[in-house]
A and B are shown apart, each in its own frame.
Chain A
């Protein structure tokens, strides 16, 4: 049968952000594909060299509309490492709380998209409703639903009082039972199983060769999680249960993300319960001494890599950001080959695309 090339994107109902794909098919089989990025490239790394360390927090926060907080957290830890300052333990815990809330809302958002793609509209509505509860918490504590402006160099911008802690705890209890229900659906709903089991499996060797990280890697049995492995505070004092699965298919990727949502809910409860008392910020100088640092953190989609170099001025000499989606995207053409055309949305959803992150 003849080969036909189908363009998908940069504007397409399947895509929530612009990405151009050329998918080659023969009959109902996908032969392979290629990608073109750059439709939301903003030159953030270059722009960062023209702004001060403080101004860059606002720029970095806008790399992504889903995991904005983990970007500024990683950036601030990098600057603080060069400054040689340690932020107060309470600030570390507040940073981690926001990171975990972000992971919960990111995974719920993702599950809704997958459910929509495979025709489970009820699950889509439930997950997005539940995600709203997380966004409500984030708005209540920071003032922003998407860009929280929680971080500053030297700590965080706000504190949590008892009342807010109690409000968060109550919502987390509600979310726990909701997520249990979602896990039941993933494990027992015939339509969910039929559309995801055995679809586009990825072997651990492919994960390693393509440098894929995060839930996709863990769903293929690769036991890597930067919260535990890179020991950024306060995760060095918290027990992070790392969820893995050996199947490597779309179902395993779903299972891992839903289980990780449960882990994050538990972590949030632990963080609130064990949050140390004290200040939330220390004084940080505007000028950063000469030096280079690499910081890795665990974003909702996996390892987030920051390289920062200072030449002693008040602006970075170089800031390099490698987001987890960029690694996952490089494997996408391989994942697409040999699948059925009808499974393209499932494979795309499985990647948990964040094009704004990949483009920067």
Chain B
């Protein structure tokens, strides 16, 4: 059985080894959530995967809130005995994130899905061919509202 991760241990590891100050986001019931910036993503993920004996990426959850149409929220949801997530907020017009598939190859499908459903660009990897939508799909990311799509 994997020993559940403690939030204070996670924050301390990230602060010591990645030099990042984490902000706790307590909006999600069920998982500990830490808010970080896009430039902190890769170092934080490196620390997480090196520090804990067992940890897997459960999902990349992306969403757009109606009251914040200029922003996209991306959660990296992990499991290491208990659930925890990293939350990143990106500007709608230039939604870019570094790809993490060099550290977590299993993130490939999740990044491809996030790219086609929400239009996020993942840098540092090959092009993201469609995973779920048809090849001839030309109506843009299905989860993004018409207003945002047209600027």
Contacts and interface: CB of A to CB of B under 8 A. Distances in A.
Interface in A13-34: none
A307 B104 contact: no
A330 B28 contact: no
A46 B104 CA distance: 27
A108 to B, nearest CB: 27
B20 interface: no
Nearest to A38: B132
Interface stretch (A134-142, A221-229, A268-276): A221-229
B28 A292 contact: yes
A36 B108 CA distance: 12
Most interface-central of B57, B81, B85, B108 (chain A CB within 10 A): B57
Given A38-B130, A38-B133, A303 B105 contact: no
Interface residues of B, number: 41
Interface stretch (A60-68, A187-195, A317-325, A341-349): A317-325
B22 interface: no
B61 A320 contact: yes
Nearest to A77: B30
B2 A212 contact: no
A322 B30 contact: no
Interface string B42-84: 0000000100001111110111011000000001010101110
B109 A330 contact: yes
Nearest to A209: B105
Contacts of B29: 81-82, 291-294
B85 A294 contact: yes
A270 B79 CA distance: 29
B132 A211 contact: no
A295 B56 CA distance: 16
B131 A211 contact: no
Nearest to B4: A229
A329 B30 contact: no
A203 to B, nearest CB: 13
Q: Secondary structure of the A side of the interface?
A: mixed
A37 interface: yes
A322 B133 contact: no
Nearest to B104: A209
Nearest to A318: B63
Contacts of A296: 30, 58, 79, 83
Nearest to B83: A294
A329 B113 CA distance: 14
Given A37-B131, A293-B29, A46 B58 contact: no
Contact of B57 (A211, A291, A293): A211
Interface residues of A, number: 44
Contact of A305 (B1, B55, B59): B59
B27 interface: yes
B66 A311 contact: yes
A322 B2 contact: no
A46 B65 contact: no
Given A41-B132, A330-B105, A330-B108, A229 B81 contact: yes
Interface in A282-308: 291-296, 303, 305, 307
Contact of B59 (A46, A223, A307, A309): A307
A211 B130 CA distance: 21
Given A211-B57, A317-B65, A330-B105, A43 B142 contact: yes
B140 interface: no
A33 to B, nearest CB: 14
B58 A330 contact: no
B58 A303 contact: yes
A359 B105 CA distance: 19
Contacts of B106: 209-212, 327, 330-331
A309 B28 CA distance: 9
Given A293-B29, A330-B108, A317 B54 contact: no
Nearest to A309: B63
Contacts of A12: none
Contacts of B105: 209-210, 330
13 contacts: A37-B131, A38-B130, A82-B29, A207-B56, A209-B104, A224-B54, A294-B83, A296-B83, A305-B58, A305-B59, A305-B77, A318-B63, A330-B108
Interface of A: 36-38, 41, 43, 46, 81-82, 207-213, 222-224, 228-230, 242, 291-296, 303, 305, 307, 309, 311, 317-318, 320, 322, 326-327, 329-331, 359-360
